[in-house]
Amino acid sequence: MGSADPKGSDHLHARRAFWRSKLKELVGMDDTTGVEILSMIRALTRLCEFVESQHSAQADLSAPRWGLLMLLLAHERMSGPKGVTPTTLSHFQGVSRNTISSLLRGLEEQGYIERTLDPHDYRVFRIRLTDAGREVVQSLAPQRVAFMNQLAADLSLAEREQLIGLLEKLHASIVARAGLSLEDCHETS
């Protein structure tokens, strides 16, 4: 892939300036950057999900399913093979229990995970990777990470690190200003 298209960038800037002026006119305020930041994050989220789903179609793994497999492998390497509860996965992914259930059902049908009863509490299931799940993560991870890095390649390493830091700061600001806890953030997703 080449570098960013300057004409596309000019178009984006012109479109943003047009909507900024309309928003300022509508609300009667000069500072609309909060709305602009959140709108850009939403647009980037949709774009990233679309691009990632197009790229990962050959492996039949959506971005959310892929994220769960990565979490399960990381947890397995840190804590052993005992597995993770669906509630814990729901908190890590920031999605509802219904969404986690649907994602887990799909991964189970693909043969990538298994559910087992917790030996200490038979009301709780533990989710673990199967050998096939572990293999798919280990074989596809390098190319998926390289692809994601390539998407951000028009930013220098220093710019990418700065952006990550700014997004973390924005996350903390939103949580603090909205009077939320991290647990609240996961519950509302």
pLDDT tens for each residue of 49-64: 888 877 765 557 888 8
Question: Where in the sequence is the domain holding 27, given as residue range(s)?
Answer: 1-31
Residue 13 domain-assigned (yes or no): yes
Per the domain annotation, does 64 fall within a domain?
Answer: no
- Is residue 145 a part of any domain in this protein? no
Our count of domains for the chain comes to 1
Q: Which two tokens stand for residue 126?
A: 């533990």
Mean pLDDT rounded to a whole number for the chain: 87
> What digits encode the pLDDT tens for the residues 111-166?
999 999 988 888 899 999 999 999 999 998 898 889 989 999 999 999 999 999 99
Q: Name the CA dihedral angle for 58, 59, 60, 63, rounded to a multiple of 10 degrees.
A: -110
pTM above 0.75, yes or no: no
**Which H/E stretch holds residue 71?**
helix 63-79
Half-sphere exposure of 31 (CA within 13 A, CB side): 1
Asked if residue 161 is part of any domain, the answer here is: no
In-domain check, residue 97: no
Choose among 101, 125, 103: nearest CA to 115.
125
Residue 9 included in any domain: yes
